[in-house]
Structure 1
């Protein structure tokens, strides 16, 4: 699964990056801290007991779907074999059971606490059958089975999302990954609907009542969380890869925006790359991809029927960045067809491996099989930087942790799971050599196809292929949290390099540093040029070293570790590094190395090693000289950081801050107007518009909307118009109400309504914000989580006025957040609301929020959001104190 925009933490948490508290003990049952009824949970111990007992499971499922209903009816017939006659249970969330039969006997179901109890006396050793007829409501939170009615044409769409523990929201089942099963389905739906399952239908029959019955044969053996069902008036496109049918589905109202040819092109390139890389053909008989409305993640790797978020459809020409992002998500989910679907984790403590592998392989595939050859630079500026940041929060955790129950799983869908894990696999591939890593992966698929595995089996396959003992590496990298820091010091004699001193600094509260293999490049200036002097990699078991240099090399002016970004490490910087880069960084020919430097400088700014004044000077010296698009986009992240970190307590500080930001705004506007490629111009304009503050820039936004200012050859599409309007609304631009109403009337789509909600919530008025919070929480409002998040994630954009309002909102936030925590009805909503926590650099605010966090018992997922927000507040205070 690809998490939405990597993670659902808002922009202000990591200052412009697209993202997303561990319990103190990694082995404590999380029901103690999560306060979720134990019955809606499943412990690892329970799963292990059930796994030893149950085998040969098969589900015959019959669904009856009606267009107008907010519920559906179904029958689940479950066949399984018991190794002993003993009681067990089925997982089943919030349904109404209409009838219950076990081994031919109809009786009242013992259904309580979201479990159907299967009594010992009703079971037998050997084969058993349970049949349950039930009624179930569709969900509103993007989990389980979801129903969406398009406001534009009233057409209905149904889809499922079941990872990690939501198959039991759809039908009763043994909902754990190592109880793989086969599934057959019969679905009755309105005749104009299409129905999609893990297999292609063998029969479609007309029934009474203007409906069609779809019959689907047995699926491949798979875990319950990989089951899927889609139904509705989807539009469909068809193609083929070798003998594998390819289909693409989307809402009818979005048909004109779907570039099916591009989807199929990337899909075929991905299959070609993976089949060769894994030495294993695509394991299923068809491959469907479905764009589904209000999907709560980026994508989900259901067997042979992958879900995608509709944000991958643009209502205008797609920029290069948008096309690359789409290629990446397509190949991320495709990688799961092998790693996740063909071979599946035994339990959720290996979730990190599932997602890390898909992330690692997707960037590899995109860089080697598509036009986006520098795709790893996109990983560097988004995923990897996010991982570096999260790995230094108090909420950091080892890549691989004990997951005692399902609820603990939700605490680990983060940048450490995805991006640090992917970085560790990239480092491991470099450490072992790409060929050895590839052979190990091929061995793994060959030996474990259609089974469940653990980390030990994956590492074992790599050890055998590389003839390397990885026990020390595994413990150091996977069982320890935090980020190592490297300090490299040259020792020179008579202008020549004699020694390099390597010093590894372990993470705060860490053990000892990890093993690494790190490329090292020395730099000198020659006139107006910079010369790179690559030297042998530094390979270490975690120990420090002083390396004697035997080659004749000049004394370096600057040393950059990890210029190719294959390692996961922080470089300790000094003011001398910053001053050299201020003059010379743009002269380094390797764009990857320049991008690595900027990320490292940003990390050193955040931890106080680099002063904000020095960072800003370097920024101004370099940002107009940089030509690589990926690095230019990094500059937008740093723009947001500067706006947040620049002190504005006194009149003089406010003047300095405004002068700095005015200069940045003017510089990027000039870059935008000069850009000749309309798609690059679109990226620049959108990024610029999201950050501007000055009146002059606000007038430009209004003129662009009115058509009195143009940025030819770019045509402003509908989605870009909403970006401009949302910023004008956040700034309190005159007559914004009339503009928003007019745009809402013009854009009657669901996307348009959510964009309108975001713009309304962004207004610089507590009264307006409170109005929308009350509106969405009315008992009769029945809003989806997606609509609520449109408001919550747009409430306090980054501006001085909005920061002031956020401070005034504190008391209301504390009161509401405490109420939500006590009710704990929807963890996803509570987590989203927690993003409104106080933000600022003042010591009294930091202490206040710390006291609030420590004042009550929190769901660990919600607490993590709060702790991270205050960690950001403390970082801001540290930066300003320098």
Structure 2
């Protein structure tokens, strides 16, 4: 049996009402399996009818329905069929479950730093039945009573407050009604920091080997948590409904975080073990605010079915940046949103796999993840930001409050949410919904100027819908008229047509830069006229407004991404302006994006060494101009380490000699240098082993795997390939680390031919990936392992063949489509902007 069908879920919801779950888990049976016992109370509207439970067990010991045994041998295709239902029913299932290593179900990880074991539950999307038998769909909610048996030196936590009732025995408080995909258990020898705010008990948990780092960082985490609580209480007008609030930073987590009510799980990379930047702190703060927003929107009010999953995430994405910008010290959060999240989403929305924000069919649970991407997060959040501007913020928040109040502890749809906003604002949203939520692609916006003798006679905002798009998407935005860093005029526009006259600009001197979407308020590609484009480097250096600089960078990056601007022009702008960029979000994200996507990808291979040299020089100049102990110095040092080919410098930095002070003694920086040395072939396997011996942490273990896989030798590639596609058992994180290193360095070392020989094998082996690493990790694996630097049409053709293959899952095909789009854009850029002297065989396939 495949994924649960929507029709099956609707029929089951029409038939039964849940009244209770009682779950008992025995986690003290060894490292492979655990015991699971569940008793479920439910009522049936049609006595005598049949329904089914969802269950994925190693073995089923017993099943009883209303005191009558059901033969465990009848369990098939993850389902327990129950016939002859009574008006009031009790079903009890006792089974043995397997711990997982793919970040789903009940995941069990071993910390190599001390050999200790850690467990956490991830029930999303359909992983709940691998923990306990259940009615696994979002609109069947019930209260939960949970009891856990665990090793005596473990602590246990979950959605309800936990009490140790005897050595190794824990009972959790009864929860309000929950959907199955929110249920979690976290257990192990976790270190903990506690606090309290506004009557809410707070806990932060991390594996024992990170206890020191947690103690150092707890104040920032608690501060953001408290500020977010205060902001949401004011904004929503509803008290936090889940009792205590635990945040578990867990190992080998698939996503950024998961919004389990009362017990949020987050990847433990967010507890930084060494040097870190303000941007990394902002990202953690944003994630904390994001998951807390879900406590109301998603947890208190849950989607009816998975086709509205986008709305949960779009709302939390929007609210997190709003909260972080308005309630915490990270006031630059909207700048970060524009350069990191929107840039990601634009790439997806311009790709062949683009899709509407809403309205995507989800005939079964698994298909909901097919279109779960940068559109669901960044574009959806941008649409909600536009909605707030369109109806007015007061009306928008009033609609949110009404939606949450009317549907508390229940389920609702997108129509319910928009209906609440309509009721609060008095405005029909039918046309707005069609234009923003049910159409796909990115509009292009530009300013059409007619001038005489340097004076603007007429100016219009021009909105061009994507090819094949319906058009008519309204935009609320601002246009900036800028010269020498001075904003001469800012024009606010609510555009409902393809051309909107900008009367405020008529009669004014023509500025050097006319910048659409200057405050980055809407979702669109800004096209710059040639005069404006010629001034961007000067204006980047002169402008004091970070949103203006963001808007300029967004136009440049979009221009290169769509083939309108030579990628070298972006590299040159980076070299000229980046060393002076004062906002960490812009500085950090730009350095990562440009060094990753430009040399050896958008920039032709023959020109890429020069492009990397520009980036390295920018990093060196920034290092020379900032305090060596500052996070800015760390960002610059990371850029130099990632782009340098200087064997002497890298060798010194790997040995912690003459490093910038911000990176001195930092093990993660050491590994970044070692990885770079490995990519370039400057070190051997024995050197990686020596670095590994000095760092036996989980991070060190993963870095070791990545570095070994990056070595440009036949022995290293054979080893890595066997690890990835052979019978070796790997956790999802181990697989991703090796995948990340495998094709690294292509074009920069002598192993291009060796690596090229693996490309066809890569596409042929993809059907193995979901089976080995799980569906959620499989998509990340494909994005990580894809041979992005092998910019050849033959690779694009192989990717297309793999996308068409029914042997690959929908998630793998989707990740391939996104990777192929990036490759196609690189092919276009290299063909369009390569000079005859720089033509390289990889551009001709």
Q: Give the one of 811, 814, 835 matched to 1:864.
A: 814
What value does the CA root-mean-square deviation take over the aligned residues? 2.2
State whether residues 160 and 228 of structure 1, in contact with CA within 8 Å, keep that contact through their aligned partners in structure 2: yes
Runs of 5+ unmatched residues, structure 2: 833-845
State whether residues 396 and 425 of structure 2, in contact with CA within 8 Å, keep that contact through their aligned partners in structure 1: yes
Q: Is residue 758 of structure 2 the alignment partner of residue 809 of structure 1? A: yes
Mapped to 1, the partners of 2:504 and 2:624 lie a distance apart of: 49
Q: Give the one of 647, 650, 659 matched to 2:610.
A: 659
1:368 is aligned to 326
Is the alpha carbon distance of 1:759 and 1:804 closer, same or farther for their aligned partners in structure 2, counting shifts above 3 Å? same
1:761 is aligned to 709
State whether residues 724 and 739 of structure 2, in contact with CA within 8 Å, keep that contact through their aligned partners in structure 1: no
Correspondences of 1:302-317 after superposition (within 5 Å): 302-317=260-275
1:399 is aligned to 357
Mapped to 1, the partners of 2:532 and 2:418 lie a distance apart of: 39
What is the DSSP-based 3-state SS (H/G/I as helix, E as strand, rest coil) of the residue aligned with 2:80? strand
2:20 is aligned to 58
Is the alpha carbon distance of 1:430 and 1:677 closer, same or farther for their aligned partners in structure 2, counting shifts above 3 Å? farther
Mapped to 2, the partners of 1:846 and 1:713 lie a distance apart of: 41
Mapped to 2, the partners of 1:200 and 1:582 lie a distance apart of: 55
Deviation track 1:474-532 (CA, whole Å, cap 9, x = no partner) reads: 111111111111121112345433322222211122222411111111123xxxx3431
1:331 positional shift: 0.8
Correspondences of 1:460-499 after superposition (within 5 Å): 460-493=419-452, 495-499=454-458
Equivalent residue pairs, number: 822
Q: Give the one of 340, 345, 361 matched to 1:387.
A: 345
Is the alpha carbon distance of 1:791 and 1:272 closer, same or farther for their aligned partners in structure 2, counting shifts above 3 Å? same
More displaced 10-residue stretch of structure 1: 506-515 or 675-684? 675-684
Is the alpha carbon distance of 1:306 and 1:657 closer, same or farther for their aligned partners in structure 2, counting shifts above 3 Å? closer
Mapped to 1, the partners of 2:152 and 2:327 lie a distance apart of: 40
Deviation track 1:264-295 (CA, whole Å, cap 9, x = no partner) reads: 11111111111111111111211111111111
1:103 positional shift: 0.6
Mapped to 2, the partners of 1:521 and 1:833 lie a distance apart of: 42
2:512 is aligned to 557
Is the alpha carbon distance of 1:679 and 1:449 closer, same or farther for their aligned partners in structure 2, counting shifts above 3 Å? farther
More displaced 10-residue stretch of structure 1: 702-711 or 454-463? 702-711
Is the alpha carbon distance of 1:493 and 1:420 closer, same or farther for their aligned partners in structure 2, counting shifts above 3 Å? same
Runs of 5+ unmatched residues, structure 1: 1-36
What is the DSSP-based 3-state SS (H/G/I as helix, E as strand, rest coil) of the residue aligned with 1:678? coil
Q: Is residue 94 of structure 2 the alignment partner of residue 133 of structure 1? A: yes
What is the DSSP-based 3-state SS (H/G/I as helix, E as strand, rest coil) of the residue aligned with 1:412? coil
Q: Is residue 177 of structure 2 the alignment partner of residue 228 of structure 1? A: no
State whether residues 761 and 795 of structure 1, in contact with CA within 8 Å, keep that contact through their aligned partners in structure 2: yes
Q: Give the one of 154, 157, 160 matched to 1:193.
A: 154
Q: Is residue 445 of structure 2 the alignment partner of residue 445 of structure 1? A: no
Is the alpha carbon distance of 1:647 and 1:392 closer, same or farther for their aligned partners in structure 2, counting shifts above 3 Å? closer
Q: Is residue 393 of structure 2 the alignment partner of residue 434 of structure 1? A: yes
Mapped to 1, the partners of 2:378 and 2:752 lie a distance apart of: 30
What is the DSSP-based 3-state SS (H/G/I as helix, E as strand, rest coil) of the residue aligned with 1:793? helix
Deviation track 1:756-779 (CA, whole Å, cap 9, x = no partner) reads: 111111112243122122135553
Q: Is residue 125 of structure 2 the alignment partner of residue 158 of structure 1? A: no
Correspondences of 1:215-294 after superposition (within 5 Å): 215-258=171-214, 259-294=217-252
Is the alpha carbon distance of 1:394 and 1:300 closer, same or farther for their aligned partners in structure 2, counting shifts above 3 Å? same
State whether residues 571 and 614 of structure 2, in contact with CA within 8 Å, keep that contact through their aligned partners in structure 1: no
What is the DSSP-based 3-state SS (H/G/I as helix, E as strand, rest coil) of the residue aligned with 2:90? strand
1:680 is aligned to 631
Q: Is residue 627 of structure 2 the alignment partner of residue 669 of structure 1? A: no
Mapped to 2, the partners of 1:340 and 1:550 lie a distance apart of: 44
1:868 positional shift: 2.0
Q: Is residue 76 of structure 2 the alignment partner of residue 112 of structure 1? A: yes
2:372 is aligned to 413
State whether residues 320 and 679 of structure 1, in contact with CA within 8 Å, keep that contact through their aligned partners in structure 2: no
TM-score (norm 1): 0.89
1:68 positional shift: 2.8
State whether residues 446 and 462 of structure 2, in contact with CA within 8 Å, keep that contact through their aligned partners in structure 1: yes
What is the DSSP-based 3-state SS (H/G/I as helix, E as strand, rest coil) of the residue aligned with 1:517? strand
Is the alpha carbon distance of 1:855 and 1:407 closer, same or farther for their aligned partners in structure 2, counting shifts above 3 Å? closer
1:75 positional shift: 1.2
Mapped to 1, the partners of 2:719 and 2:635 lie a distance apart of: 33
Mapped to 2, the partners of 1:285 and 1:829 lie a distance apart of: 32
What is the DSSP-based 3-state SS (H/G/I as helix, E as strand, rest coil) of the residue aligned with 1:302? coil
1:469 positional shift: 0.9
1:783 positional shift: 2.1
Is the alpha carbon distance of 1:864 and 1:56 closer, same or farther for their aligned partners in structure 2, counting shifts above 3 Å? closer
Q: Give the one of 306, 309, 313 matched to 1:348.
A: 306
1:709 is aligned to 658
State whether residues 57 and 96 of structure 2, in contact with CA within 8 Å, keep that contact through their aligned partners in structure 1: no
1:878 positional shift: 1.3
